[in-house]
Structure 1
């Protein structure tokens, strides 16, 4: 545990050095959030309510999504593991007395913690200044939202790890990212709330792991009854289930991959 805490701290420190990039990221997220929000406001001006969402709900989800964009890294960058597998440097990683999955998770949680504090919070604050957002009035809902955000980050890490670990078989994961980089944000409800899809499609998409990164946290924040299970705790249970399932799959694939490793480049 001490090793994992040290790796977490190193990940936090590593990303805290890129201050100019952080400021630029907040500006970019806020601008794209504002553009997306104005598009949705125009849509809801023509139709005030769509599948239980009004204009305020939709705009709130836009800025929840923009706030989560950096911690989730849903559109990249890929984990360093991808490149280390390709170059063969992963051979050094496997010599450590710490499982590869645990090491990578601790490091990435450090990055995500920094992004949540210094990119997510300012981005959402800008959205609250520019638009009317549906903010929870109950402190308990804020705590449940933070829990949902944490689970979203774990699910996001697990998916990115799976995209990376297939490199043991494919050698190069750029093709995986070429597909999932554009598809992930759509399936997650980042570009467009899933509730704006046809009801049957939206219901299916909510149960997929990508929805646990954006759509479910947004609906937990909004307190929507459309969550799987009919409420906030059903949504959290779905997120936790996907986090456990994906991490278990990641651990199993890592074990399979490292039984007989051919290190590229050495």
Structure 2
């Protein structure tokens, strides 16, 4: 019940700004079209590229990655914990009769749901029309894709929670978010398939959770990989959850606020 209440409140709060958020949606759609235009300019429609990708495969790959961004990457920076530390709100959050991670995680799902409906979905429909983005006919494909996206969103929530709690030890944690964002653009396969990265960078990527944020959901949607990849998503989700719980235990023993 608490999960639904917190999620609905965050969703309702975002509804107040949906007109201004439309600008972000338009800008994101345009960026995706720019990426596609670049690939169209340098690609050869009649030739298969590395790892068996055709120009059409790459266009669909880049397009669906852009659709996923608002679900798997663009969420609240640090889940807003750094702001709570500056105002002193964190002390009240820790006093609530609910676990801090669970509380913030539930709220963030409302943000993810809002962005799915008002950002990802419009971009998805636009790309179906403009780029002939394929729509899977198999219910199984949809099921694996949805599960992959849910796990990707959850992993990113966990990572941002870990980024946020560092503000209890430092006066500035925002830089960690941008490091995370920068790494994700390369290691998640956002702009190019992971198969096209140098071997040493591929190894680093596969040792991290980043491929499960973008690469795995997109490959499952395009029916270019099997559902066995979801095992890795589940393992990373479990591991990040344990890490969040351990870090929260440390946080309860060290509460240093700058506003109270």
Q: TM-score, normalised by structure 2?
A: 0.91
Shift of residue 199 of structure 1? 4.7
Contact 1:75 1:181 in 2 (8 A): no
Q: Which residue of 1 aligns with 2:16?
A: 17
Correspondence 1:104 to 2:104? yes
Q: Check 1:74–1:23 CA distance in 2 against 1; reply closer, same or farther (3 A cut).
A: closer
Q: Which residue of 1 aligns with 2:160?
A: 160
Contact 1:152 1:212 in 2 (8 A): yes
1:93-145 Cα shifts (integer Å, max 9, x gaps): 11111110000000000110111122111101111111132432312101211
Q: Which residue of 2 aligns with 1:220?
A: 220
1:181-217 Cα shifts (integer Å, max 9, x gaps): 3222222222333232135533541341121110111
Q: Which residue of 2 aligns with 1:32?
A: 31
Contact 1:33 1:127 in 2 (8 A): no
Contact 2:141 2:221 in 1 (8 A): yes
Tell me, in whole angstroms, the C-alpha distance in 1 between the residues paired with 2:40 and 2:206.
23
Contact 1:148 1:239 in 2 (8 A): yes
Unaligned runs of 5+ in 2: none
The size of the alignment, in residue pairs, is 259
Shift of residue 254 of structure 1? 1.1
Shift of residue 76 of structure 1? 5.9
Q: Which residue of 2 aligns with 1:239?
A: 233
Tell me, in whole angstroms, the C-alpha distance in 1 between the residues paired with 2:100 and 2:9.
16
Contact 1:63 1:123 in 2 (8 A): no
Q: Check 1:75–1:114 CA distance in 2 against 1; reply closer, same or farther (3 A cut).
A: closer
Tell me, in whole angstroms, the C-alpha distance in 1 between the residues paired with 2:136 and 2:196.
22
Q: TM-score, normalised by structure 1?
A: 0.89
1:153-186 Cα shifts (integer Å, max 9, x gaps): 1011111111111112123202212422322222
Q: Which residue of 2 aligns with 1:60?
A: 60
1:218-251 Cα shifts (integer Å, max 9, x gaps): 11112224xxxxx22x211111111111121011
Tell me, in whole angstroms, the C-alpha distance in 1 between the residues paired with 2:78 and 2:62.
23
Shift of residue 65 of structure 1? 1.7
- The ranges of structure 1 where at least 4 consecutive aligned residues each deviate by more than 6 angstroms after the TM superposition are none
Q: Which residue of 2 aligns with 1:7?
A: 6
